[in-house]
Amino acid sequence: MKLAPVLDLSAAKPLWAELGEARGQPLEIDASGVERLGGLCLQVLLSAQVQWRADGAAFSIANPSSAFADAVKLMTAHDLAPREEPQ
């Protein structure tokens, strides 16, 4: 699943619906094109992550753009930040 470039208030409901359609199966979210991440969409993503864990399904964020990573860090949503591979 690829995230939209602008994840603001108006993107929250469509994001929630798209995640709902994918429920129950492993999900990798491509965040490479995100230019702006607002608080409500961050909450939607965090909620989905919790739900996927409860369902026992894989959930991951891949290829985070710098804007996505910065927003996650700024809003202290460390659980959503992708794990960095050891070098």
List per-residue pLDDT tens for the chain, 87 residues long: 999 999 999 999 999 999 999 998 999 999 999 999 999 999 999 999 999 999 999 999 999 999 999 999 889 876 776 554 444
Selection from 33, 25, 23, 24 nearest residue 11 by Cα: 33
In sequence order, what are the residues at sequence separation of 6 or more whose Cβ sits closer than 8 angstroms to the Cβ of residue 45?
15, 29, 61, 80
CB 45 within 8 A of CB 17: no
pLDDT in the model for residue 85? 45
The partner residues of 2 in beta bridges, in order of sequence, read 30
Look-up: residue for tokens 């864990």?
Answer: 53
